[in-house]
Amino acid sequence: MSGASDRIRHSNAEGRAALIAYLPVGFPSVERSIRAMVAMVDAGADVIEVGIPYSDPVIDGPTNQIAAEAALLAGARVADCFAAVRAVVAAGASAVVMSYYNPLLQYGLEKFAGELAAAGGSGVVLPDLTPDIAQEWLAAAEAHSLDTTFLVAPSSTPERLHMTVAATTGFVYAASLMGVTGERASVGSQAERLVRDSRAAGAHLVCVGLGVTTGAHAREVATYADGVVVGSVLVRCLIDHVNEDQALDALRTKTSELARGVRGES
């Protein structure tokens, strides 16, 4: 079990879901993005998803795309994620990297896995890689004791669910709806069924993301999932506030709201 898996289980043992918070490294700058991640830890996030900006983020909606494009233009690179991971772990949370497969492939799978493990990272979330073609990455991850999280969706067949659950070594990421990331008025109505089906397929930890925007959403999802994944609404805090102090205040406020939500508080 990785640090992230342990943290999720510890949260569950406290009678609540874990809060998994996403931000891309490098937006609006590498240094500011790292300070923002630490601020989320201070405000109650259990696990930080450190995003690697990518030019073709197929699962990301407009908010995350804006941040990723700006980060790339500002010079953010794959290696910047390791500094972010170290800072998150030093602040007391667990860190996983969220990345599309191509950046890792270009960096070198073995090199990336070794450096992530050395930085204290727990694993990687790979939204565009499926288990049936992931053997090379899985070998590198296993060699460095890293977890690999794959995604399941409301459209996943029973066969696909079983294959994905069997290959996942961290938490299973259940996409609450078909589509891309983004802030929404409600969480996908099929999310609870997907969590139930994933557990029936053998999943030990299932976390739900896509569309979680408010503390009420987090409270709802926490009643049936092991963890709640939130991204776009947190990225929005950095987009809407050019001033860093204001951005961090907004980020802490929203993270605290979500942290109360996973605890069943209003």
Q: What is the tens place of the pLDDT at every residue in 212-261? A: 999 999 999 999 999 999 999 999 999 999 999 999 999 999 999 999 99
User: Which of the residues are catalytic?
Assistant: 49, 60
Give the domain 3-258 fold: TIM Barrel (3.20.20)
- The yes-or-no verdict on residue 266 having pLDDT over 80 is no
- The yes-or-no verdict on residue 123 having pLDDT over 90 is yes
- Side-chain-side CA neighbours of 165 within 13 Å: the count stands at 23
In the chain, what are the domain boundaries?
Answer: 3-258
Q: How many Å apart are CA 165 and CA 197, to the nearest integer? A: 10
- With beta carbons less than 8 A apart as the criterion, state whether 171 and 227 touch: yes
Which pLDDT band holds residue 188 (cuts at 50, 70, 90)?
low
What is the phi/psi pair of residue 230, to 5°?
-130, 135
Q: Whole-prediction pTM value?
A: 0.94
CA distance readout (Å), 94 to 128, 130, 197: 23, 24, 27
Query: If residue 220 lies in a helix (H) or strand (E), which one and from where to where?
Result: helix 215-222
- Side-chain-side CA neighbours of 241 within 13 Å: the count stands at 18
| pLDDT (tens digit per residue) in 1-59 | 458 999 999 999 999 999 999 999 999 999 999 999 999 999 999 999 999 999 877 77
